[in-house]
Amino acid sequence: MFLSEVEDEQTGKLMQTISLSRSPLALLSFAANRFTGAAAAYFQEQNDLGSVDWRMLFILAQQPGITAARASETIVVDKGSVSRCLHRLAKRKLAFAGELHANGRSRGWHLTESGRDMHNAILHVALEKQQQLLHGFAPAEVEQLCTLIQRFLDNLEAVETGADDRG
Question: Residues for the chain: how many in total?
Answer: 167
Q: What is the pLDDT of residue 45?
A: 93
**Pairing assessment for the beta strands 14-18 and 95-100 based on DSSP bridges:** unpaired
CATH 1.10.10.10 fits 50-161, yes or no: yes
| Beta-bridge mates of residue 16 | 5
Report whether pLDDT(164) > 70: no
Q: What's the distance, CA 60 to chain centroid?
A: 14
What is the pLDDT at residue 59?
97
Q: What are phi and psi of 117, to 5 degrees?
A: -65, -45
Residue 166: pLDDT band (50, 70, 90) is low
- Condensed to tens digits (0 to 9), the pLDDT of residues 90-105 reads 999 999 999 887 777 8
Q: Hey, which residues does 107 pair with through a beta bridge?
A: 100
DSSP state of 5: E
Write down the domain spans for the chain: 50-161
Pairing label, strands 95-100, 3-7 = unpaired
Which pLDDT score is estimated for 18? 87
H-helix or E-strand containing 97? strand 95-100
Contact present, 99 and 125 (Cβ < 8 Å): no
* CB of 161 closer than 8 Å to CB of 73: no
Residues forming a β-bridge with 96: 110
pLDDT for 160: 86
Taking only the tens place, the pLDDT of each residue in 26-76 is 999 999 999 989 988 999 999 999 889 999 999 999 999 999 999 999 998
